[in-house]
Chain A
Amino acid sequence: MDFDFSEEQRMLADSLGKLISDRYGFENRKAYAKQPEGWSREIWAAYAEMGILGLPFAEADGGFGGGAVETMIVAEALGGALGLEPWFATVVLGGGFLRHGADAGLRETLVPQVADGSLLLAFAHTEPNARFDLHHVETTATKDGDGWVLRGRKGVVLHGDVAGKLFVTARSAGGVRDEAGIGVFLVDAAASGLTRRGYATSDGLRAAEITLDGVRAEAVLGDAANGLPLVKRVVDDAIAALAAEAVGAMDASLKLTLEYLRTRKQFGRAIGSFQSLQHRAADMMVALEQARSMAMYAAMMTDEPDADERARAMHAVKLQMGRFQKFVGQQSIQLHGGIGMTMEYAVGHYFKRLTVIDTQFGDAEHHLAALSEAGGLFQAA
Chain B
Amino acid sequence: MDLRFNDEERAFRQEVRDFIEANLPPETRERMAAGRTPTKDMVVQWQRALNAKGWAVPHWPVEHGGTGWSAIKRFILNEEMQQWPTPTPLAFNCAMVGPVICAFGTDAQKQHFLPRMKNLDDWWCQGFSEPGAGSDLASLKCASKREGDHFIVNGQKTWTTLAQHADWIFVLVRSNPAAAKPQEGISFLLVDMKSPGITVRPIITIDGAHEVNEVWFDDVKVPVENLVGTENKGWDCAKFLLSNERTGQARVGASKERIRRLKRIAAEAPGGATPMLANPRFRDKLTEVETQLKALEMTTLRVLANENKRLGEGKPDPASSVLKIRGTEIQQAISELFVEAAGPYGLVGADPEQDRWNEPELAPEWATLAQPVYFNWRKQSIYGGSNEIQRNIMAKAFLGL
Chain A interfacial positions (CB closer than 8 Å to B): 126, 128-133, 136, 155-156, 177, 197, 199-204, 207, 209, 265-268, 274, 276-277, 330, 333-334, 337-338, 340-344, 348-349, 351-352, 355-356, 359-360, 363, 365, 368-369
Contact = CB atoms under 8 A, between A and B. Distances in A.
Contact of A202 (B135, B159, B281, B349): B349
Given A342-B204, A343-B206, 11 more contacts: A133-B273, A177-B273, A202-B375, A266-B134, A266-B136, A266-B139, A277-B388, A343-B208, A344-B203, A351-B378, A365-B282
A330 B374 CA distance: 10
B346 A359 contact: yes
A136 B270 CA distance: 11
Contacts of A276: 388, 391-392
10 contacts: A128-B270, A129-B270, A133-B272, A156-B344, A201-B348, A202-B350, A209-B362, A277-B388, A334-B381, A363-B340
A338 B159 contact: yes
Interface residues of B, number: 49
Contact of B204 (A207, A267, A344): A344
A197 B208 contact: no
Contacts of A330: 378
A156 B205 contact: no
- 9 nearest A-B pairs in the assembled complex, by CB-CB distance: A202-B349, A348-B206, A266-B136, A202-B371, A343-B204, A133-B272, A129-B270, A201-B347, A131-B272
A334 B272 contact: no
Given A131-B270, A177-B273, A348-B375, A267 B339 contact: no
Given A199-B348, A338-B129, A359-B346, A131 B375 contact: no
A57 B381 CA distance: 47
Contacts, number: 136
A54 B159 CA distance: 46
A243 to B, nearest CB: 18
Interface of B: 129, 132-136, 139, 158-159, 203-206, 208, 212, 270-273, 279, 281-282, 339-340, 343-350, 362-363, 371-372, 374-376, 378-379, 381-383, 386-388, 391-392
B206 A131 contact: no
Nearest to A356: B347
A359 B343 contact: yes
A135 to B, nearest CB: 9
A381 to B, nearest CB: 26
A156 B347 contact: yes
Q: Which among A266, A338, A344, A355 has the highest number of chain B CB atoms within 10 Å?
A: A338
Contacts of B133: 266
Nearest to A158: B347
A341 B382 contact: yes
Interface of B, secondary structure class, is: mixed
B159 A131 contact: no
B347 A207 contact: yes
B382 A156 contact: no
Contact of A338 (B134, B348, B391): B134
Nearest to B206: A348
A365 B281 contact: yes
Given A155-B345, A349-B206, A267 B281 contact: no
B281 A131 contact: no
Contacts of B158: 338
A348 B388 CA distance: 19
A337 B271 CA distance: 35
Contacts of B348: 156, 199, 201-202, 207
Contacts of A277: 388
Contact of A355 (B208, B343, B362, B374): B374
Contacts of A128: 270, 345, 363
Contact of A341 (B281, B379, B387): B379
Given A130-B272, A276-B388, A343-B208, A337 B347 contact: no
B382 A337 contact: yes
Contacts of B381: 334
A342 B203 contact: yes
Contacts of A343: 204-206, 208
B344 A359 contact: yes
Nearest to B350: A202
B136 A267 contact: yes
B281 A369 contact: yes
Contacts of B273: 133, 177
Nearest to B182: A268
A168 B340 CA distance: 25
B358 to A, nearest CB: 9
A363 B158 CA distance: 36
A205 to B, nearest CB: 9
A356 B392 CA distance: 33
A333 B378 contact: yes
B270 A130 contact: yes
Given A202-B371, A352-B206, A337 B343 contact: no
Nearest to B271: A131
Contacts of A126: 344
Contacts of A177: 273
A337 B135 contact: yes
A247 B381 CA distance: 25
A330 B376 CA distance: 12
